[in-house]
Amino acid sequence: MIEFRDVSQQYQAGKPIIKNLSLTVSQGEFVVLIGPSGCGKTTLLKMINGLIKPDSGEIRIKGKELKEWDPITLKRNIGYVIQQVGLFPHLTIEKNISYVLDIQKTSETFKKQRARELIKLVGLEEDYLPKYPKELSGGQKQRVGIARALAADPEIILMDEPLGAVDQINRAVLQDEIIRIYQTLNKTIVFVTHDIEEAIKLGTKIVVMNQGQIMEMGSRDTIVFHSKSHFADDFIGNKGFLSYLNIVKIAQVVCSFNGNVSEKETMLWARETDPLIVGIRICLENGINQIGVRDAFGQVVGTFDLSCLSRLKF
Amino acid sequence: MPMEFIKNLGELLKTRSDFFIELLLQHLVLSLIAIVIITVVGVTTGVLIAKSQKAASVVIGLTNVLYTIPSIAMFGFFVSITGIGNTTAIIALVIYGLLPVIRNTYVGLTEVDDQILEAAVGMGSTPWQLLSKIQFPLALPVIIAGIRNMVVMTIALAGIASFIGAGGLGVAIWRGITTNFDEMTVAGSLLVALLAFVADGLLGIIEKRLLRRTK
């Protein structure tokens, strides 16, 4: 879907922002670019929709070289969500959402219908459509920002630290929303963040960058446990591990129940949809080695103990 | 004495109402022509120079210099080129009025939040769509403020235009001064002030409506 081959970029001579970088993003992936500020992650993102042009190397979007794309058409085919939301303050929420459709001269009825669909998709009521951005809270604005990026039904969506300005609680809610939207719509997402937890939570592929180069990339398992790069190890560290325990579900490591029925009476329980950290906590809190695991309907599915963790398959 | 003066003033306005209405209309037409030209030229120039910082500093610098020339000197200067009458008056009024409009258009357009512009560009707006759908509407309150400033100034300045043979309420003021007819001078001045006041009020209402939506 997106292919970078040996791409370099520098604003000033001798100070490269991106150095001989290669990266492939396949259809349906949720790629998170993470790294310290100035590592080139935002530059990399902006190269995808042509806001920044590389000095050398090749970028292919949907199999077509960047130079062959009409720059306006390319941008209209890629959803774009930015850090400070960037909603247009003089337009209603409805007009904001349908802006991409408007500049492509889509019919009024379609625009109206699409705005209605999208506002619900991002979890807001239709009542918000005639309002102006100033009347919305930060989290609501960001939902509208996401709806706006989805308007033209693009296959690729770029998100540049979209939750950077949202408070902790709303951030977690919006992260879940983004995951839900990603899973429902089957889009390819490239997401920039400097928040390690966010990266571990959202990405199907996490790319750790530093000084314009990729230090490590892979699934959250690879990034947290099997990184070959010292930089990535230090950068992700225990914070990444903690968020890993917060995200991976007990269901993935549950062992079969082979104790006797009487044991069930005294057992403590977790749900299979609980994250690993909940299971570990129950064990530590109660000084026990093993707890039982139930599914959402209360049916026993097995047990959890620390030795079960070795069942994680990387 | 003041009571008598006010009485005489009222009497004058009543008996010579045809005269004053004609001057008021002349004044209005003269100002309006200048205002329309200034708005079109000023806003267009402001839009054009917003794309280049260099051009902007040259153009705004130049209009700044023109702005500092005393109005009576400016009128006098143009009399020597285009003679006396309305044309000369309009040329001088336009040159004066351009500064606030060009400057405010430029400032309004260039001060639109970068993040908003980046969002619009990133979503695939053409340069024209960016200007007409995003930048210009967002700059409009600032542009209107400049126009409002210019309108009041032009209406006031048009009062001096009769010194170089143009029509308008300046004729009454000028005649009052030269014939030592105080009521005539005051009547002319009052009407100029009234006209400027009403025009400013109307534009103020428009400005308020625009401001309510943005920001």
B215 vs A148: CB contact, 8 Å cut-off? no
The confidence band for B109, taking pLDDT boundaries of 50, 70 and 90, is very high
A82 vs B115: CB contact, 8 Å cut-off? yes
Out of B115, B125, B137, the one facing A86 most closely (by C-beta) is B115
Residue of B nearest to A81 (CA): B119
HEC secondary structure over chain A: CEEEEEEEEEEECCEEEEEEEEEEECCCCEEEEECCCCCCHHHHHHHHCCCCCCCEEEEEECCEEHHHCCHHHHHHCEEEECCCCCCCCCCCHHHHHCHHHHCCCCCHHHHHHHHHHHHHHCCCCHHHCCCCHHHCCHHHHHHHHHHHHHCCCCCEEEEECCCCCCCHHHHHHHHHHHHHHHHHHCCEEEEEECCHHHHHHHCCEEEEEECCEEEEEECHHHHHHCCCCHHHHHHHHHHHHHHHHHHCEHHHCCECCCCCHHHHHHCCEEECCCEHHHHHHHHHHHCCCEEEEECCCCCEEEEEEHHHHHHCCC
Mean pLDDT value of segment B177-192: 90
ipTM of this predicted complex? Answer: 0.80
Chain B nearest-CA distance from A125, in A, is: 21
pLDDT at A169 over 60: yes
Chain B nearest-CA distance from A102, in A, is: 10
Residue of B nearest to A89 (CA): B214
Mean pLDDT value of segment A90-96: 94
Out of B120, B122, B133, the one facing A49 most closely (by C-beta) is B122
Mean pLDDT value of segment B68-84: 85
pLDDT at A225 over 80: yes
What is the pLDDT at residue A262?
Answer: 65
Chain B nearest-CA distance from A7, in A, is: 21
Structural domain spans, chain B:
17-213
The CATH number for A250-311, chosen from 3.30.70.330, 3.40.50.720, 3.40.190.10, 3.10.580.10, is 3.10.580.10
Interface of A with B (CB under 8 A): 46, 49, 51, 72-77, 80, 82-90, 99-100, 102-104, 132, 134, 148-149, 158
Out of B122, B125, B214, the one facing A103 most closely (by C-beta) is B125
B133 vs A103: CB contact, 8 Å cut-off? yes
Residues of chain A contacting residue B119, judged by C-beta atoms under 8 Å apart: 80, 82, 86-88
Structure tokens at A50: 């042509």
| A31/B85: higher pLDDT | A31
| B145/B165: higher pLDDT | B145
CATH number of B17-213: 1.10.3720.10
Q: Which CATH architecture has domain A2-247?
A: 3-Layer(aba) Sandwich (3.40)
Q: Which of A52, A73, A83, A88 to mutate to test the interface with B (most CBs of B within 10 A)?
A: A88
B122 vs A75: CB contact, 8 Å cut-off? yes
Q: Is B209 on the interface with A (CB under 8 A)?
A: no
Mean pLDDT value of segment A147-170: 89
**Is the pTM here over 0.95, yes or no?**
no
Ranges A107-121, A234-248, A251-265, B38-52: which has the least confidence: A251-265
Structural domain spans, chain A:
2-247, 250-311
